[in-house]
Structure 1
Amino acid sequence: MALPPSATKTATDAHEVASHAQSAFVEYDRRKAAEEDALLIQALQSNDREALGAFVQRQQGFVFGYLRSRMVDPTDADDLCQEVFLRCLAGKVRFRGDVPVRPWLLGVARNVLREHIRRNRRRKEVEWTELCLELDSLTQDDSSDYRIVHGWLHSCMDSLGHSAHEALKMHYFARLRMAQIAEKMRRSEGAVKLLVFRARQALKECVTRKSRIASDE
């Protein structure tokens, strides 16, 4: 049996009130967490060891997840995660206070990643990290959720043609040389290099497009 118009309107109004209340609660919760994080950073930069422990406990999973998604070796991600928080403790990086804590931490983590790349240029696995940092730079600077961008990356990879997708997987994850990929794909090395180059460009365009759509919503 259909509800009368008055009852339908009442239910709709109640739903809207509940939605606004939930949004306000989430916003309040985020603001409170940001304020607590800022206080913890001020304390740890004053050599407060207890503050460091509390801050690391709150943010370690976030920072490690960001680094792990951009590195082939989980051990490297763990080492760099520790480096991020050690820099916070040593005062090598200062919290400005004009940005939320997590985007600031991502900035520190990106700098640590760039230094890792410079130190390990000859290691094959850093190429994936370089690609991820390139794609990071295409997204909005205020994007505080690395998982969104990481999801875009995997979605964009899945949208590539089969050959391009396989070539990227062999190059970045299996760490095969171009000549080895060419042999497996029964193509010339030059053709494989062109395929990988075009696949990288397609990924950049795809991530950029998703970032623009997200910023317009």
Structure 2
Amino acid sequence: MPPFMTPGPAAQSDLELLDAWRAGDQRAGNELFNRHFDSICRFFANKAPAEVDDLIQRTFLACIEGRDRYRGDASFRGYLFGVARNVLRRYYRDKRYHDARFDPLIASVHDFGPGPSLLIADKREQELLLQALRRLPMDHQITLELYYWENMSGSELATVLEIPEGTVRGRIRRAKQLLETALAELAESPSQLESTVANLEGWARSLREKALVKPDPA
């Protein structure tokens, strides 16, 4: 640090912002949402591209309505993505079944034909990976996308998926196996499959930085 430069104020943590928001500080609430907006947008972009704006709004509205029920026993980020997962589940349950039969460990986004992802893929391997992710059972897709794109810890993934933390590694392992199977079915050639699988983590993480394509206004 150059001499005589005074360090700026440290960024407030999610919990500090949440406490301030609960106390009536709307600025803190806005900052909390702005901090996580891109991640929540990315969460829906490869799962329900035509409804991203509406699902983001539903997620943050549910967070507002439930903010006093959050006790801080898990990270706020894990709590927020858990809300987003439940919003997504309700959306697809209502879209197809209109009852409680929708099972995110069986049904995939691909089953619903949601249209192209809003994530831009400039490499064939990235496009292949996006397609394969959408063919996984929804909770397995969520697991891998949060693991690769949001660098979520085991405890955060457990919160989002509502499973014991000790089962998270097994969930990730199973999701990777299903992903490799989907990639094998979609790849146009053995060399394309090999180049994708050989650097699976690199291709997956590279998608995180891709710009989001905004849907055309109706």
TM-score normalised by structure 2 residue count: 0.45
Larger radius of gyration: 1
Structure (1 or 2) with the greater helix fraction: 1
TM-score normalised by structure 1 residue count: 0.45
